[in-house]
């Protein structure tokens, strides 16, 4: 396994879904990043500003995909047991091959909502740390 040289910059990228989430959203509209270079996701952090509904969602997981292929080792649990998880970080160690992306790839935010009655979530997104590999 090779590692990027120390001169490769680590860049932060934020993918946010600004509309209120009420159901699962695969490839959330407007919530994507088109890679201007070849690179690799080395860390991902999810966030949710608020949840609600008649009954709050039980769980809400976030994933980043290119097409059907996940770029994370596992989805990020942003809500668990109807509570927003404060530290929601996914390390991609051991998932290096799948975490790579090509120049021009569209990285989409995938939002999975479980449980609740008329559940809602606001301010949903991910922050990615990516390494340029060109």
Tens of pLDDT along the chain (134 residues) come to 445 455 667 888 999 988 888 877 766 677 899 999 998 888 888 888 888 888 888 888 888 888 888 888 778 888 888 888 765 565 555 554 557 899 999 999 988 888 888 888 888 888 888 888 87
Report the distance separating Cα 121 and Cα 123, nearest Å.
Answer: 7
- The answer to the question of residue 2 being in a domain is no
- The answer to the question of residue 5 being in a domain is no
Domain CATH number, residue 20: 2.60.120.40
Q: What are the C-alpha distances in Å from 85 to residues 77, 94, 123?
A: 7, 24, 14
DSSP 9: P
Burial class of 34 by CB neighbour count within 10 A (0 to 12, 13 to 18, 19+): exposed
CB-CB contact of 41 with 128 (8 Å): yes
Boundaries of domain holding 21: 10-132
- The answer to the question of residue 115 being in a domain is yes
CB-CB contact of 82 with 57 (8 Å): yes
- The answer to the question of residue 1 being in a domain is no
- The answer to the question of residue 4 being in a domain is no
Q: How many domains does the chain have?
A: 1
Q: What is the pTM of this model?
A: 0.80
């Amino acid at each position: 396994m090779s590692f990027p040289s120390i001169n490769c910059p680590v860049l932060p990228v934020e993918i946010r879904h600004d509309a209120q989430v009420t159901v699962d959203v695969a490839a959330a509209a407007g919530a994507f990043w088109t890679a201007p270079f070849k690179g690799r996701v080395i860390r991902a952090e999810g966030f949710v500003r608020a949840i609600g509904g008649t009954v709050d969602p039980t769980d809400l997981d976030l994933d980043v995909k290119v097409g059907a292929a996940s770029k994370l080792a596992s989805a990020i649990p942003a809500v668990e047991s109807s509570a927003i998880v404060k530290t929601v970080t996914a390390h991609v160690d051991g998932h290096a091959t799948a975490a790579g992306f090509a120049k021009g790839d569209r990285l989409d935010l995938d939002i999975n909502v479980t449980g609740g009655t008329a559940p809602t979530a606001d301010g949903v997104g991910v922050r990615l740390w990516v390494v340029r590999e060109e």
